[in-house]
Every structure is written in structure tokens, then in C-alpha cells.
Structure 1
Amino acid sequence: MARRETPEINAGSMADIAFLLLIFFLVTTTMDVDSGVSKKLAEKTPPDVELPKIKERNIFQVLINRNNQLFVEDQIMELKDLKDAAVKFIDNGGGIGNPVGDAKEGKECDYCKGERDPESSDHPNKAIIAVESDRATEYGMYVTVQNELLAAYRVLRDRLCQEKYGISFTELEQAFKDSQRKDDDLRVKLEVIKKSYPQIITDVDPAGGQ
């Protein structure tokens, strides 16, 4: 009796299916992304541009050393106290602010509720927070400090937005997003709050020897 040959399986189509499945999983699989602080780095100032002089009282100095210790205005501070200290500095309103829009001269802050200490910041649009960290500072500590500073601005923006428009800044932002960023009235309101309390946080080059 003749021996029957075993039919071969065409593996070509199997390879195509496996390739399509691979593409499917690559497209549909979500990847965890490490969260961080969203900040836009400032452009380098041209050498021929004369920088304006900044009064020392308008700079809020925050230092994180290699041991992750926090120093604010040369005084050691607990992380839990940083947000309130930043709010107090930004909202001080002790002088005249920078001109806004077409105005030729700055004005006093009529919405600030600070102590108006002449030794602290003049106006929210002049208040600069300078963060300096050591090269050995843990990234987690740096991010936490940045989050506390951003939270200080959030507190002030929420308060002013509640007073002017009856909702928090967070709710106003969400309403603008829900409108697919097309509602011009909400856009104007957002800009008013942002200009009233502009986020001015700058990073100082690590000293390396702290």
C-alpha cells in the first residue's frame, strides 16, 4: 500500500496574523509616563540686552541643599510651611507693580490681602521665586518643592477668581476646557486672573558645593 504524504501547513498566513496582532497591541497598549513639573524654560537673553534691575525684596529665595534640607530666605523651613510662606510673599502688595497692557505706569495691588510690608514684594507681577538646588538634591524633593510653590499660586488665583466671578480658578479652567477652548468670555476671565497672579518661578543654576 502506498504511503500517504502528510500535507504541510502553510505558515505564511500565521506569520501575517502574528504581525498584525503585534501592531494591534503596540497601538492599543497604554504606557505609564512619569509625571513631573510642566515648565517652559526661558530663552537665553541676548548679550546686548540690558536686564532690568530687580530689587532684592522682590526675590523669594528657595534653596534645597544636597541633604534635601529646605532653606527659605536663608532660614531653614519645613516643607509643610513653604506654600503659606510663598503666598505671604506673593500677596504682600507693598509697593507699585509693573505696568500692565497699555499703561505707562504701574499701580498698587488693590486685590492683595497681604501685610504690605515695605521689606517684602511690591506686587504679584514683580514677585519672583528663585529656586536653587544642589546637583545632589533628590529629584523627588525638587518636584515636591515646585508643586508647593505652584499650589501657592493656585490658592491666590482661586481666591481672586471666587471674588470676581463666583467660581474657583480650577472650575474656570475646567469650564474653558469643556467649551473646547472656544468660549471667549471664559478665555478673558482666565487671562485676567493669570495676569493678576503671574507664575514667576525661576531656577538658579546649581551651586554644586552646597
Structure 2
Amino acid sequence: MARRSTPEVNAGSLADIAFLLLIFFLVTTTIETDSGISRKLPPMQDEEVVPPVIKEKNIFQVIVNRNNDLLVEDELMELSELREAAKAFLDNGGGVGPEACDYCEGAGDPTSSDNPVKAVIMLVNDRQTEYGTYIAVQNELVGAYNELRDRTAQRMFGKSFQQMEADFNDVRYTGNKDRLKEQIEQVRDMWPQKLSEADPKN
């Protein structure tokens, strides 16, 4: 009786199949991207440059502790009140003479910020602060700037600042983009987003 030879497996095409499966999974798999805060950081400064002196009244201090409590200007505050408090500080217009603000609609308190260009919001958080609280605080502070920019853009140009930015980024926008860019920069210069973050505390 003749011996039957066992058939060999063609391993040459095995590598091709594995490669095709790899390509298939790379193309069809969705990769989670981290979400965060979109923020343009200022350029690095020379070490020889002396930082400007900021008056204490032009600093709005927000501290978030390890228990996620907010301490705003040395007083406990609820997160829901933070945006209005930040707007009141930025829009105060307490400066006189060259530091006066002619577009501010705030109380004009001489013990609070002189004008929005001088005003700085300083955020200090603890290393144990929850990420969700940190993001919520950032959202309220940025929201204060956005609402003030919207108000000014609406008064000066007849539409919100957010709409102006959306129009500028829209490829189908048929208006004058150079003029629109100047208007956006004008509003940004009036309400510069000066949000300073100190190193987290232990």
C-alpha cells in the first residue's frame, strides 16, 4: 500500500492575509482622542525681561481647594455665581484718567479693576481638585469673557462675537474677511483674555 503524503499548508499567503486584516482594523477602528481646553499659550519670554507690576485691585483671584470649594477674592462662592462675579470684575471700569474705560458698564468701584486691559483673573487649584470641577471653573471664566465680547460686538457691529468668529471661519462667507478680522481683533483688544494659572498646590 502506497503512503499518502500529507498536504502542506501554503504559508506564503498567510502573511498577506494577516497584513490585510491589520490594514482593515486600522482603517475601521476609531481612536479616542483626548479632549481638553483649547488655549493658545503666550510665547516664551527672555529671562531678562522684568514682568510688569500689576496692582492688587486688578487681580481677581479664584482658588479651588481639594474639596472642590471655590474661594473667590477670599470669600466662599458657588460655581453658579462665578461667571457674574468675573464679569463684574472685568467690566468694573474703576480707572480714572488714562486708565479710564469708556465702554465699561460696571459699577466703577475704585477698589476693583481699572479696565479690562489691566484686569487679570488668576486661577489657583489644588492637585487634588477634581478634573470636572477644574473644567467647570475654566468654562465659567471663559464664558464671562465671551459674554462681554458678545455684548460689545453686538453694540458695535450688530452681531455677536461668536457669530463673527463663525463667519470668519466659514469658507462660504461672502463678506469682507479682512474687515471682519479687524473687527474681531478690535473686540479682542477691548476684552483681552488674561487668565493666569498658578502652579497647583499640594
Give the TM-score range, shorter chain.
0.7 to 0.9
Q: Which segment drifts farther, 166-175 or 69-78?
A: 166-175
Distance 2:151 2:29 in 1: 41
Shift of 1:60: 0.2
- Structure 2 equivalent of residue 114 of structure 1: 106
Amino acid at match of 1:32: E
Task: Name structure 2 gaps, 5 residues minimum.
Answer: none
Which position in structure 2 is the counterpart of 1:12? Answer: 12
Paired position in structure 2 for 1:160 = 152
Separation in structure 1 between the aligned mates of residue 180 and residue 10 of structure 2, nearest angstrom: 63
Give CA-to-partner distance per residue, 1:34-82, whole Å, 9 cap, x none. 3222234445654432222111110000001111110000000000100
Q: Deviations over 1:98-120 (max 9, x none)?
A: xxxxxxxx553222111111111
* Counterparts in 2 of 1:42 and 1:165: CA distance versus 1, 3 Å: closer
RMSD, matched Cα:
2.5
Q: 3-12 or 149-158, which moves further after superposition?
A: 3-12
Which residue of structure 2 lines up, in the alignment, with residue 101 of structure 1? none
Between 131-140 and 107-116, the greater mean CA deviation after superposition: 107-116
Match of 2:33 in 1: 33
Decide which of 165, 180, 188 is 2:182's aligned counterpart: 188
Contact 1:96–1:123 (Cα < 8 Å) also in 2: no
Residues 92, 116 of structure 1: 8 Å contact kept: yes
CA shift in 2, pair 1:188/1:28, >3 Å: farther
Give the counterpart of 1:175 among 154, 163, 167.
Answer: 167
What letter corresponds to residue 169 of structure 1 in structure 2? F
2:129 partner amino acid: T
Question: What is the count of residue pairs matched by the alignment?
Answer: 200
Query: Which whole-Å CA distance do the structure 2 matches of 1:49 and 1:5 have between them?
Result: 84
* More off after superposition, 31-40 vs 110-119: 31-40
User: Relative to structure 1, is the Cα distance of residues 24 and 64 closer, same or farther in structure 2, using a 3 angstrom cutoff?
Assistant: same
Report if aligned partners of 2:117, 2:191 keep a CA contact under 8 Å in 1.
Answer: yes
Q: For residue 197 of structure 2, what is the aligned residue in structure 1?
A: 203
Structure 1 position 169, deviation (Å): 1.3
Q: TM-score, normalised by structure 1?
A: 0.84
- d(CA) in 1 for partners of 2:185, 2:27: 38
Aligned residue for 2:127?
Answer: 135
Q: Is the Cα contact below 8 Å between 1:37 and 1:147 reproduced in 2?
A: no
Are residues 1:85 and 2:77 paired? Answer: no
Unmatched segments (≥5 aa) in structure 1: 98-105
Percent identity for Structure 1 against Structure 2: 55
Distance 1:29 1:171 in 2: 35
Q: Note closer, same or farther for the CA distance 1:167–1:46 as it changes in structure 2 (3 Å cut).
A: same
> Is the alpha carbon distance of 1:22 and 1:69 closer, same or farther for their aligned partners in structure 2, counting shifts above 3 Å?
same
Q: Which residue of 1 aligns with 2:68?
A: 68
